[in-house]
């Protein structure tokens, strides 16, 4: 779901986000940020557009995530 949004963004920058710790015991806002990024389980990775809203969600849960720059798809 989140990767489709990255593709629709017009080929802009994307980031790969991986959940490395459990959301159990975290604040509801942090759990919501993880869910909003499209992450479901430990080890699950998604590619999302590098937008201010996505960066805010990543920053909220940064202690639980691994963030990498995603390779561009080469379209265009």
Domains by residue range for the chain, with CATH: 2-69 (3.30.1390.20)
Spatial distance between the Cα atoms of 58 and 63, rounded to a whole number of angstroms: 9
Output the pLDDT for position 62: 96
* 59, two tokens: 């920053």
* pTM, full prediction: 0.78
Output the pLDDT for position 17: 97
Q: What is the pLDDT along the chain (76 residues), one digit of tens a residue?
A: 555 555 555 568 999 999 999 999 999 999 999 999 999 999 999 999 999 999 999 999 999 999 999 886 655 5
Output the pLDDT for position 70: 84
Spatial distance between the Cα atoms of 28 and 76, rounded to a whole number of angstroms: 40
Inter-residue contact 3 to 45 (CB < 8 Å): no
- How far is residue 6 from each of residues 13, 45, 69, measured CA to CA in Å? 8, 14, 13
């Amino acid at each position: 779901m989140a990767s489709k949004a990255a593709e629709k963004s017009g080929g802009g920058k994307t980031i790969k986000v991986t959940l490395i710790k459990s959301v159990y015991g975290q604040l509801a806002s942090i759990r919501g940020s993880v869910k909003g990024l499209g992450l479901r389980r430990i080890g699950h990775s998604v590619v999302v557009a590098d937008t201010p809203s996505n960066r805010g969600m990543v920053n909220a849960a940064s202690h639980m995530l691994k963030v990498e720059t995603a390779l561009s798809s080469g379209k265009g």
